[in-house]
Structure 1
Amino acid sequence: ITTEASTMLPFSNLTAVTPVDGRYADKCVALRAHFSEFALIKRRVIVEVKWLIHLADERVIEQLPPFDEPTRASLLALIENFSVEQAERVKAIERTTNHDVKAVEYFLK
């Protein structure tokens, strides 16, 4: 099968990359929240936000003062309410940066 032909295959149990995504998808749906690409991006956002807050709180970077409460709440709300649409924005940024973590940093700007 050519690469071109493989990109035209519709998604189904037979065309899934693994049986986990195909025939066992209904049994593994709970795993998506932990092992999907969305979950990976969300974890990266969590790490970057918490690290930024830590750096500000500890005054590690002189030019980064501690965040006021509304800013801190906004950053923490981003973690709590992170959506698939936001993950798609990170992926769009990644297409230009060719770097997954850098895309998260740009998303947070």
Structure 2
Amino acid sequence: MMDIQLLTAISPVDGRYRSKVDGLALYFSEYALIRYRVLVEIEYFIALCEQPLPQLADFDKSYMRIYEIFIRNFNWRMRSELKK
């Protein structure tokens, strides 16, 4: 019997050829899109905080460590929360 995930695949790439392109999922999947979008937004915000911008003068720099930890530990559960 055929695997239900293969039957519900959107294209042959994520269906019957999944084993051949599985390594690409970390870069081209919905999960990867969300992960890298969050990564870029946080890195951009950190870079803005390093500039002498009056709008961010009162921002507590201790949060930077939290952002870095978030980036390093981003996982499926976090992605699910962001997707809501």
Using the alignment, how far apart are the partners of 1:56 and 1:32 within structure 2? 32
Q: CA deviation at 1:63?
A: 2.9
Match of 1:85 in 2: 77
Q: CA deviation at 1:76?
A: 1.0
Percent identity between the two aligned chains:
36
Name segments (4+ residues, structure 1) moved above 6 Å. none
Using the alignment, how far apart are the partners of 1:59 and 1:35 within structure 2? 36
- Say how many residue pairs are matched: 81
Equivalent positions of 1:46-61 (< 5 A) are: 46-60=39-53
Matched residue SS, 1:13: helix
Equivalent positions of 1:19-34 (< 5 A) are: 19-34=12-27
**Given residue 18 of structure 1, which amino acid in structure 2 is its aligned partner?**
S
Structure 1: state its 5+ residue gaps: 1-9, 93-109
Using the alignment, how far apart are the partners of 2:65 and 2:50 within structure 1? 14
**Given residue 50 of structure 1, which amino acid in structure 2 is its aligned partner?**
E
Using the alignment, how far apart are the partners of 1:59 and 1:17 within structure 2? 47
CA deviation vs aligned residue, 1:73-101 (integer Å, no higher than 9, x gap): 21111111111111111110xxxxxxxxx
More deviation, 12-21/37-46: 12-21
